[in-house]
Amino acid sequence: MSTAETARVTTFVAVAPDDAFEVFTDEIDLWWRRSIRFRVGGGKQSELCFVRDGQERRLVEHYANGTHVIGKVLAWEPGKRVVFEWRLRNFAPDEVTEVEVRFEPMGEGTKVTLEHRGWDEIRGDHPARHGLHGHAFSAMIGTHWSELLTAMRLFVRAKPSA
């Protein structure tokens, strides 16, 4: 996958990498924002989760009128990284992008870096682009992910210690 139109965002959470990975994956529905901007089903009517079916894991959103498979998990390394396909509901069967989230120890916590790549392989007139290309498009996608990682960071900070 090319990196020409890649969004990369980083945040810091005050927990160990294993815990940050667990919050990102196992508790994703709790911190992921609930609005039509962030979920196909919008609001409280949807559930976002990583599911395991045999040897394969997928990221899915269950909502009132159905289920959207966002993508299959390509790498699952607890405490280190998770990589998964990212497909919007309006993607054609051959259209897919990729999200990698890395968890690196940093001081008393974890640096979480998310990279969303492969957008340069999505046609230029696709509705997901909102008419944007190059840096402007990458910045828009980066803002989207930045808002989500901020929500994760705030969730971790508010979560009671075990």
CATH of domain 7-31+77-158: 3.30.530.20
**pLDDT, tens only, 36-47:** 778 776 666 789
Work out the pLDDT band at 34, boundaries 50, 70, 90. Answer: confident
Q: What is the pTM of this model?
A: 0.93
The dihedral sign for the CA sequence 13, 14, 20, 24? negative
The answer to whether the beta carbons of residues 110 and 11 sit under 8 Å apart is no
Q: What is the pLDDT of residue 44?
A: 66
**pLDDT, tens only, 46-85:** 899 999 988 899 999 998 888 999 999 999 999 999 999 9
Domain residue spans of the chain: 7-31+77-158
